[in-house]
Structure 1
Amino acid sequence: MGIDLSIIWFVIIVFATLMYIVMDGFDLGIGILFPTTRDADDRDVMVNSVAPVWDGNETWLVLGGAALFGAFPLAYAVIIDALTIPLTLMLIGLIFRGVAFEFRFKATPAHRPFWDKAFIGGSILATFSQGVVVGAVINGFEVTNRAYSGGPFDWFTLFNLFCGVGLTVAYALLGATWLVMKSENPLQARMRQVSKQLLVVLLLVIAAISLWTPLAHPAIAERWFSLPNLFFLLPVPVLVVVLSGWAWKKLNDTESHNAPFVLTLGLIFLGFSGLGISIWPYIIPPSITLWQAAAPPQSQGFMLVGALLIIPIILVYTFWSYYVFRGKVQHGEGYH
């Protein structure tokens, strides 16, 4: 039995996407949370907590996009064509976030508020746009003769916009629990309270999307609620409830610093798993599978050699950077 290169590349793309959501999610969350903190020193601590790692986190976005282009060119072409506007807005948001990140440390006190606003706006725009893209993938794309045949604004639907809001809440929760882990004293106490509020909102968002999606898409409803699938997939919502309750308990425990962030990562993983279960095996829902969208095996095999060399290197330097900059961030230290 031969190796299915399409499955291998699908796993690589899913892994890269999940790594991006987890890692860039909490530093985008820092920008989303900036309005909750007015104190300049606390804002510096928030930014310094991600300063050594934020630009490296975006490596996974580049890897995922390049892998999609090379391994599944049809999917890349359809998605880029269908989602040109939200993807462009996402890139604009990431540019503003990145420039503001660098410039706010060099700015004079008179100009720093401008860069703080750019940091907030860029973070929210990038996150919201990513959520819209996720919603659009769930809704699917019109494809005729292997080309996108819908309109430039088909992504502009209530469900997709709601997904944008939902991802903004998820990233904000990631950022808040990251700060519970990385900060101390009043800032940490404030982020504990913010995390509890965001956790409740996120659960409401998950519940709404979990009901909305099967109601709007009978095929997804059949995937989740037909037997015996219901029994196999039931652990996903059950684990969401269990991890949420556990996270709430740890947020109330002032001695617990790392657990809320780890448990939030678990919630994000379960949400991502739910998305995968809903659309599998379609890489362009609702009609084109990953095998139909795949590049020739020769191309996938050639790319795989490079991927197997570069991914371990990325993992090693990512682990090393997080290890070197582990621990709490103090006032007056960090990125300058």
Structure 2
Amino acid sequence: MDYATAWFYFSAFLLGMYLAFDGFDLGLGSLLPFVKDQKDRDVLVNTMAPVWDGNEVWFITWGAGLFAMWPALYAVLFSTFYLAVWLLAFMFIFRAVSFEFRNKYRRTWDYLFALVSALIALILGVIVGNLIEGIPIDASGFHGSLLALFRPFPLIVGLFVLFAVMWHGANWAVYKTTGKLQERMRKLAFDFWILTVVFLLLVVVGMKVWAPLRFERLMSPVGLTLTLVILVAGLLDGYLIKKGSERGAFYISWLAFPLVVYLVYYSMYPYWVISTTDPNFKLSIHALAASPLTLQAVLGVSVVLAIIIMAYTLYVYRMFGGKVTEAEGYY
């Protein structure tokens, strides 16, 4: 395996870890409007308060790796997703602000926190959907607008990511709460589990219609095996939710994210970018990569850094483990 390929799949690991850890924060934030009682919303916020900002370290590491290892890709992505990326950055900032400002006017800021959490998940999915389907780009540059990115297939992927993080967030809430709130979140976990499975199937069908090149990779033995594993894991999670297995349901939804990210990366290999206007215009991971020496030198350091981040993350989760009650926390 060459270093560009190694970095490609290491990038998949970093993004998968971000969605596994911060995904339930985004999902839990998106679920706040489904909980009417303010004390119950405080409990939900308290379950993620000690860990939510640390979870975003994975996203920062993924973005830094993308910039360092594929600088030419950054130029392409920013010219294509310029407004979408700035909108995403603004929402990350506003999400942090709303988390702090909910000390005053909690109901208002809870709903604002829910809105930006849902939009972050949706826009991340839309960007990924555009990379899967392809974008209107050629040698002269990007030909489109922000609205052009919100085509049917990217929107399907965006809704899939949104429903998936809400399912994951509800599983986390079931794992961390008790009583009537826990039962409410278990029902929501099952509802959004159904939506996640449905939209996963729609994404696969959509790839056949709108992204045949990616679908061809998906239908390879490795792609089919991964797809089957994800579907079986998803069906098992629905069973565990109904059975009342708190830990098992959360762990499976946690594992689903890196598996899905790896499958997406596998289906995209070896092209980061394909064109919807020029079939011959493709940008491979090798053409966009930094020098082999840079790829080799930074990979080892990045793996060590990822191990340190994982160790610290697991330590924090262990320190703040256990159920959360309304008398505890940060609000």
TM-score, structure 1 normalization? 0.90
Partner of 2:233: 243
| Cα distance in 1 for residues equivalent to 2:122 and 2:45 | 20
Is 1:330 the counterpart of 2:325? The answer is: yes
Q: What is the aligned partner in structure 2 of residue 262 from structure 1?
A: 251
Alignment of 1:149 onto 2:142 = yes
Superposed, 1:277-288 pairs within 5 Å as 277-285=266-274, 287-288=282-283
CA RMSD in angstroms comes to 1.9
How many Å apart are 1:26 and its aligned residue?
A: 0.4
Please give the alpha-carbon distance, in whole angstroms, between the structure 2 residues aligned to 1:310 and 1:268: 21
In structure 1, the partner of 2:61 is 63
1:253 maps onto 2:248 in alignment: no
Give the share of equivalent positions with the same residue, in percent: 32
**2:33 aligned residue:** 35
Quick one: distance in 2 between partners of 1:181 and 1:276? 30
Q: Contact between 1:173 and 1:195, CA under 8 Å: does it hold in 2?
A: yes
User: For 1:291, what is the secondary structure of its paired residue?
Assistant: helix
Whole-angstrom CA distance in 1 between matches of 2:251 and 2:159:
22
Match of 1:294 among 281, 289, 304: 289
Alpha-carbon distance change, 46 to 216 in structure 1, aligned in 2, over 3 angstroms = same
- State the 1:17 CA deviation: 0.7
TM-score normalised to the size of structure 2?
0.91
Secondary structure of 1:283's match? strand
Question: Where do residues 124-163 of structure 1 align in structure 2 (5 Å cutoff)?
Answer: 124-145=118-139, 148-153=141-146, 154-163=148-157
Pairing of 1:198-213 with structure 2 (within 5 A):
198-213=192-207
> Quick one: distance in 2 between partners of 1:263 and 1:66?
28
* More deviation, 78-87/279-288: 279-288
The answer to which structure, 1 or 2, has the higher relative contact order (CA under 8 A, 6+ apart) is: 2
In 2: Cα distance, 1:306 partner to 1:327 partner: 34
Give 1:32 deviation, angstroms: 0.6
CA distance in 2, matches of 1:164, 1:241: 19
Cα distance in structure 1, aligned partners of 2:82 and 2:111: 25
Partner of 1:273: 262
Whether the 8 Å contact between 2:13 and 2:262 is mirrored in structure 1 is no
Q: What are the Cα deviations for residues 150-171 of structure 1, in whole angstroms up to 9, with x where unaligned? A: 2233313122122222211011
Partner of 1:176: 170
8 Å CA contact retained: 2:15, 2:261: no
- Opposite residue 280 of structure 1, the aligned amino acid is Y
1:51 corresponds to = 49
Query: 1:176: how far off?
Result: 0.3
Asked if the contact 1:31–1:119 (Cα under 8 Å) also holds between the matched residues in 2, the reply is yes
Structure 1 residue 142, shift from structure 2 partner: 4.4
* Partner Cα distance (1:240, 1:9) in 2: 23
Q: Distance in 2 between matches of 1:206 and 1:72?
A: 29
* Aligned partners of 2:217 and 2:223 also within 8 Å: no
User: What are the superposed Cα offsets for residues 222-261 of structure 1, whole Å, 9 maximum, x if unpaired?
Assistant: 3344xxx3x443333332332233212211223x211111
Task: Report the Cα distance in structure 2 between the residues aligned to 1:19 and 1:135, rounded to whole angstroms.
Answer: 19
Match of 2:85 in 1: 87
Amino acid paired to 1:140: G
Shift of 1:143: 4.5
Following superposition, the deviation at residue 308 of structure 1 comes to 4.0
Deviations 1:86-114 (A, max 9, x none): 2222222212211111121x32xxx2222
**Counterpart Cα distance in 2 of 1:202 and 1:131:** 13
Identify the range of structure 1 (266-275 vs 245-254) with the bigger mean alpha-carbon deviation. 266-275
1:64-122 deviation digits (Å, cap 9, x = unpaired): 11111111111111112111122222222212211111121x32xxx222211221111
Using a 3 Å threshold, how does the CA distance of structure 1 residues 309 and 206 change in structure 2: closer, same or farther? Answer: closer
- Tell me the matched-pair count: 324
Question: Which residue type is aligned with residue 243 of structure 1?
Answer: A
Q: Which moved more, 1:46-55 or 1:85-94?
A: 85-94
The answer on whether the counterparts of 1:93 and 1:124 sit within 8 Å (CA) in structure 2 is no
SS at match of 2:249: helix
- How far residue 309 of structure 1 moved from its aligned partner, in angstroms, is 4.2
Alpha-carbon displacement from aligned partner over 1:166-217 (angstroms, at most 9, x marks no partner): 2110110010001111111111111111111111111110111111111223
What is the rounded CA distance, in whole Å, between the counterparts of 1:178 and 1:285 in structure 2? 37
Give the deviation of 1:306 after TM superposition.
Answer: 3.9
Instruction: Tell me which amino acid in the other structure corresponds to 1:320.
Output: Y
The equivalent residue for 2:278 is none
Q: What's the offset of the Cα at 1:144?
A: 3.8
One-letter amino acid of the counterpart of residue 245, structure 1? L
